[in-house]
Every structure is written in structure tokens, then in C-alpha cells.
């Protein structure tokens, strides 16, 4: 066969083009290197059922199995549990970790997918956090009044087997293995559905568990409060059930003692006569109510005694038949008292709070601060009812006073009266004096009367009528009045021909007491019904003010 030059050139061209096409195809073929598996993700959210965790991972076809890790500190330290599974759905429980998960505890879970070669395993993937369920229990969760600094109230509802014991555990004893103390539950406790646990340390977390014959029924965490003041001068009557324990204690305490009473309990005063200084205070208790001193027998002083102070703080003072003839103090002998002070107290339903009716002497200071007072009969908040006694300085601040027939009474000069940041309504009774200094020649307040930052409603008509005009004052011919930032309601007023306190009606709220306050008559709720009142932020008892 004869091949000419043209044919050779054609063959060479075809060969070269084919070679180029082959190389081009080879260059365009991508070869991917093998990489790690994707990090596992959840097919459904983590789920807690009782004290187990249910995990449902999205399937990875290339995954041979998974390593699951569990933490309680978001894996800041080594996992507390680690185990392998070969399925994408599983339950974390005792069967895979060797012990039960804790109840009501937050755990974090992560997963690593494994390939057939370790170098292709996924990176760990955080699946999230979840809290296990709370242990099913009939035990109640503690509130603020279920724990003191040294005691706790453990309570339950009747369900199932009777509760036979309460055990106390350290907060670190997560599996309740070693009780610190055990308290047997009596029939009386079961009837009350509670047990008082004692002997605790202040500012400490505990776990309190209830049991039925060795079977755990539930537990709760308690945190004890800051320790109350202690010392030889502190007489703590908390936890004592005898209502006469206060009367039985007073004779034996030293001058300067502080007597701590328990909230919600009633204490008989026993008509004690003071010849030493004593403070009465409210301690921690299992109720929001104040301790009550029953004033069925009034306090007095010992003839000729010199008492530096008697103070009441966070105490309720009242008497069942008090309006007819009971007082906190009814002093009928000679002596002297540096100060009678009521702080953060409730004083209700008495004939008078502090009356001095006999002998001679001096009460240097009479102080009321942050108190609520109501239903006081004709001897008022203070009555110096003998011109041979005098009260030098009177201070009533940050208090609410309602339904009082007379407010302040004296038969002798005083140095000063301060009424500041108070809410008064139905004070005094219609026709009577708000301030009654009533002995000719000894009827002045030498350094003046100051009424500031207060609100005064109308007088008290005990019959419920709307005739409640009052008299401003008696005596006080040479007394100066300084009235600052004080409002009266539109239904406040003076009777015809009565003495008017200078400056008291400078600021008149245009509405009535019922329009200004929420419920001033029945529940004694003096929060502002009229929130547009211009004095809402800076006048009246601060407990009712509206902060701007």
C-alpha cells in the first residue's frame, strides 16, 4: 500500500489530538481524600424520664459505633461517665454507667462517632444539657419561713406509708449515704404533717429527707439563715411553748438584756414593773406573723426606779379586751425613764399605748418608728396624764396611724414634737384635739412642733357618719408650728371655732381619703388608689409610697 505524505500528516494529527483529549480528561477527574465523619447531632431533643436520659441521634451510615460522655461541669474537667453504644437510640441509666443518675441534677452529654479507622472518627459533639426529674415525693419544698439559723421545718402531705423518720444530710452527700442526724417522727408530728429539726449550723446548706421505715420518700435542700446575735445578754425564748415564759423570765434577766420572741406566738406580760432596761425583739420563726405580747396586764415601773430604756422591735402589742381598758404602759408611780421606743411594731386595740397617771418623774424620749397603729381609745398614743410627770421629746416617724380617739396628750410642757413621714387617718375622733396640751402654764412645746412629709385624712366618727371635723390643738399658746411638705385630704377639716394648726392646710389633696387610698377603712390599705397624687413619692408613711 502506498502511503503519501498527506496520509502521514493526517494520522499524526489524529494521534496528537487523541493524546491531548486523553490528558484533558485525566486532568478533570477529581480525587477526594477520605475525611473525618460528621459530628453527631440529635434527631430529637434530649429527654429526661425520672432519673434517666433518653438520647436519639441522627443516623450516620459510616459510623461503626459511638462513644457517649456525660459531665456535670460542661466538660471543664474529665467526664464523669463514658461508655460505648452501637445504636443511635439509647438510654443513659444504671445499665450503661454502673450506677443511677442523680435526681433533679443537670447533666451535659456529648458524642463521638467512630469510623472503621480511628483516624476518621468525628470530633466530640456537645448534644446539650438536661436536668433529670425531681424524685417523686410528698415532701414539701421549703419557703422563707421554713428555716431559721439553727432549725428547720420539714413537712409533707399524707400519702402512702406513714412517715417515720427525718434525716439530715450534708449538701455534698449526693446519694444520701451518711446522715448527720436522725429525728424520729411521732404520732403528734404525723398529725401535724411536719417535724421541727434542730441543731443546725447557720448559713449552711443541708438535705432533709423523709423516710417510711427505711424507705426514702423524698428530700429537699434547706439553707439556714445568718446566725442571730448571741451572748449572755440575749435571752432566746424561741421554741418554748409556754405562753407564760416571758412573765416568768422578766424578773431574772439582767439590766440591758435583749429578749428574743418567736413570731406567731403569744406571750403574757404578767403586769411586769421595770427597774432595768430591756429590749424585746422578734427572732426567726416559722411564720410571717410577729410575736404578740398580750397587754391584758399592763407594764409599769418600780417605784423610784431609773430605767434607761425599754424598747420593742418587730413585736405586736394588743389585748383581747384592750380597747376598753388596756395599755402597753400604765405608769402610776414615781421614777424616770430614758426612752420608751416602739420600732417596726404593730399596736392595735388598746385604751392607750403609753399612759402616765400617777407619781412624778420624767420620760425623756418617746419614740415610734416604722409602726402600724390602729384602734386606740381615749388615752391615745401617749398620754402624760399628770402634771408632775413630763415627756421631753416625742418622735413619731415612718408610721401609719388610724382610728385613734386622741393622738398626743400632756399636762406638762415638752421640749419637742416631731411627726415625720407619717400617714394619719381617722385621727383624732371628731371634735377632739389632735395635740392636747391642757394644763394652764405648763402647756407648751418649748422648741416647737414639726409636721413634715406626712398625709393627714379626716377625723374619726366611730358611728360611721361623715361628721368628722376636728380640733387642731389645745393649750400651746406659745408653741410654734413648722409644717413642711404635708398634705391633708379634702375631707379633713376643723370644727367651727376650733383651733387650726398653722400651715397644716397649705397643701390640700382635692379628693377624699377614700379617693386617695386603696382601702383606708377596713383593711387599712393606704397604698395610693390615685397614682397621680403629687405627693405619692415623698409624703406619708414610706411603706405606701410609689417610687418614681
135 contacts 103 by C-beta, under 8 angstroms: yes
- pLDDT band, very low/low/confident/very high, at 344 (cuts 50, 70, 90): very high
List strand residue ranges (DSSP E) for 60-133, in order: 65-71, 81-85, 89-92, 106-114, 125-131
Tell me how far apart the 2 most distant CA atoms of the chain are, in Å. 161
Query: In the prediction, which pLDDT does 32 show?
Result: 65
Give yes or no: residues 63 and 114 share one domain: yes
Instruction: Encode pLDDT of 112-163 as tens digits.
Output: 999 989 899 999 999 999 999 999 999 999 999 999 999 999 999 999 999 9
Among 202, 223, 244, the domain-final residue is 223
Residues 67, 169, single domain; the answer is no
Asked whether residue 359 is assigned to any structural domain, the reply reads no
- Do 161 and 83 have their domain in common? no
Residue 15 above 90 pLDDT? Answer: no
Do 58 and 160 share a domain, yes or no? no
Same domain, 447 and 545: yes
Average per-residue pLDDT for the chain = 93
What is the rounded CA–CA span in Å between residue 452 and residue 456? 11
Mean pLDDT of all residues in 375-397: 97
Same domain, 115 and 149: no
Residues 505 and 452 occupy one common structural domain? yes
User: Total domain count for the chain?
Assistant: 3
Kindly state whether residue 293 falls inside one of the protein's structural domains: no
| Contact (Cβ atoms closer than 8 angstroms) between residue 174 and residue 207 | no
Q: What is the pLDDT of residues 456-501, one digit of tens each?
A: 999 999 998 889 999 999 999 999 999 999 999 999 999 999 999 9
Q: By 3-state DSSP, what share of the chain in percent is helix, strand and coil, each rounded to 5?
A: 10, 40, 50
Indicate if 126 and 203 belong to the same structural domain.
no
What proportion of the chain, given as a percentage, has pLDDT over 90?
A: 88
- pLDDT band of residue 279 (cuts 50, 70, 90) is very high
* Burial of residue 514, with CB atoms counted within 10 A of its CB: 0-12 exposed, 13-18 middle, 19 or more buried: middle
Neighbours of 179 (CB within 10 A): 17
Q: Could you read off the pLDDT of 200-218 as tens digits, one per residue?
A: 999 999 999 999 999 999 9
Is residue 407 situated within a structural domain? no
Q: How do 205-212 and 266-268 pair as beta strands?
A: unpaired
* 493 grid coordinates: 377639716
Residues 156 and 190 grouped into a single domain: yes
Note whether residue 384 is domain-resident.
Answer: no
Confidence at residue 269, expressed as pLDDT on a 0 to 100 scale: 86
Reported confidence tier of residue 2, pLDDT bands at 50, 70, 90 = very low
How far apart CA 355 and CA 391 sit, in angstroms, is 11
**Is 370 a residue whose pLDDT tops 70?**
yes
Query: Which single residue is written with the C-alpha cell 415612718?
Result: 398
Residues 541 and 520 in one domain: yes
Residue 403's pLDDT band (cuts 50, 70, 90): very high
150 and 97 share one domain:
no
pLDDT value at position 33? 80
Residue 104, domain extent:
42-131
Q: Is residue 420 part of a domain?
A: no
Question: Among 111, 103, 115, which residue's Cα sits nearest to residue 43?
Answer: 111
Residue reference for cell 387650726? 500
Q: Whole-model pTM?
A: 0.82
Assigned domain for 520 exists: yes
Closest CA to 325 of 359, 368, 376, 273: 376
| pLDDT-based confidence at residue 412 (cuts at 50, 70, 90) | very high
Task: For residue 301, give the C-alpha cell.
Answer: 415601773
Amino acid at each position: 500500500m502506498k502511503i503519501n505524505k498527506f496520509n502521514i500528516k493526517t494520522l499524526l494529527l489524529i494521534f496528537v489530538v487523541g493524546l491531548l483529549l486523553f490528558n484533558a480528561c485525566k486532568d478533570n477527574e477529581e480525587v477526594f481524600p477520605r475525611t473525618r465523619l460528621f459530628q453527631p447531632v440529635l434527631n430529637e431533643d434530649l429527654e429526661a424520664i425520672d432519673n434517666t436520659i433518653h438520647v436519639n441521634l441522627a443516623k450516620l451510615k459510616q459510623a461503626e459505633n459511638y462513644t457517649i460522655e456525660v459531665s456535670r461541669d460542661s466538660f471543664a474537667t474529665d467526664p464523669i461517665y463514658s461508655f460505648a453504644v452501637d445504636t443511635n437510640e439509647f438510654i443513659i441509666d444504671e445499665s450503661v454507667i454502673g450506677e443511677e443518675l442523680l435526681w433533679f441534677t443537670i447533666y451535659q452529654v456529648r458524642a463521638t462517632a467512630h469510623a472503621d479507622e480511628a483516624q476518621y472518627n468525628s470530633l466530640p459533639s456537645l448534644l446539650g444539657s438536661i436536668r433529670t426529674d425531681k424524685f417523686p415525693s410528698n415532701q414539701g419544698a421549703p419557703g422563707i419561713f421554713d428555716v431559721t439559723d439553727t432549725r428547720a421545718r420539714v413537712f409533707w402531705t399524707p400519702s402512702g406509708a406513714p412517715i417515720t423518720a427525718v434525716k439530715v444530710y450534708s449538701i455534698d452527700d449526693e446519694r444520701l449515704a451518711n446522715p448527720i442526724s436522725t429525728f424520729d417522727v411521732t404520732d403528734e408530728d404525723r398529725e401535724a404533717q411536719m417535724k421541727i429539726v434542730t441543731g443546725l449550723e447557720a448559713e449552711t446548706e443541708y438535705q432533709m429527707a423523709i423516710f417510711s421505715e427505711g424507705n426514702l420518700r423524698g428530700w429537699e435542700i434547706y439553707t439556714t439563715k445568718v446566725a442571730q446575735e448571741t451572748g449572755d445578754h440575749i435571752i432566746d425564748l424561741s421554741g418554748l411553748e409556754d405562753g407564760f415564759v416571758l412573765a416568768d423570765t422578766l424578773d431574772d434577766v439582767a439590766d440591758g438584756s435583749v429578749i428574743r420572741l418567736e413570731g406567731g406566738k403569744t406571750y403574757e406580760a404578767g403586769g411586769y414593773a421595770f427597774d432595768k432596761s430591756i429590749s424585746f425583739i422578734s427572732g426567726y420563726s416559722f411564720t410571717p406573723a410577729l410575736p404578740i405580747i398580750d397587754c391584758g396586764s399592763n407594764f409599769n415601773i418600780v417605784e423610784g426606779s431609773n430605767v434607761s430604756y425599754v424598747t420593742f422591735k418587730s413585736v405586736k402589742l394588743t389585748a383581747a379586751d384592750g380597747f376598753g381598758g388596756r395599755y402597753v404602759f400604765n405608769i402610776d408611780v414615781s421614777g424616770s425613764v430614758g426612752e420608751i421606743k416602739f420600732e417596726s411594731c404593730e399596736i392595735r386595740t388598746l385604751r392607750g399605748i403609753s399612759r402616765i397617771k400617777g407619781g412624778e418623774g420624767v420620760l425623756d424620749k418617746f419614740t415610734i418608728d416604722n409602726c402600724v397603729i390602729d384602734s386606740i381609745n381615749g388615752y391615745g398614743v401617749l398620754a402624760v396624764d399628770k402634771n408632775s410627770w413630763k415627756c421631753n421629746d416625742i418622735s413619731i416617724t415612718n408610721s401609719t396611724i388610724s382610728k385613734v380617739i386622741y393622738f398626743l396628750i400632756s399636762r406638762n410642757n415638752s421640749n419637742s414634737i416631731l411627726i415625720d413621714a407619717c400617714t394619719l387617718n381617722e385621727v383624732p375622733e371628731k371634735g377632739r384635739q389632735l395635740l392636747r396640751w391642757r394644763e394652764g402654764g405648763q402647756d407648751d412645746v418649748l422648741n416647737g412642733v414639726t409636721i413634715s412629709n406626712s398625709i393627714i385624712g379626716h377625723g374619726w366618727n366611730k358611728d360611721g357618719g361623715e361628721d368628722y371635723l376636728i380640733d387642731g390643738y389645745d393649750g400651746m399658746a406659745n408653741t410654734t408650728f413648722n409644717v413642711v411638705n404635708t398634705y391633708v385630704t379634702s375631707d379633713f377639716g376643723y370644727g367651727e371655732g376650733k383651733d387650726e394648726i398653722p400651715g397644716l392646710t397649705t397643701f390640700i389633696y382635692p379628693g377624699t381619703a377614700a379617693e386617695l387610698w386603696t382601702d383606708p377603712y377596713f383593711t387599712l390599705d393606704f397604698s395610693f388608689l390615685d397614682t397621680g397624687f403629687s405627693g405619692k413619692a415623698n409624703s406619708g408613711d414610706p411603706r405606701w409610697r410609689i417610687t418614681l
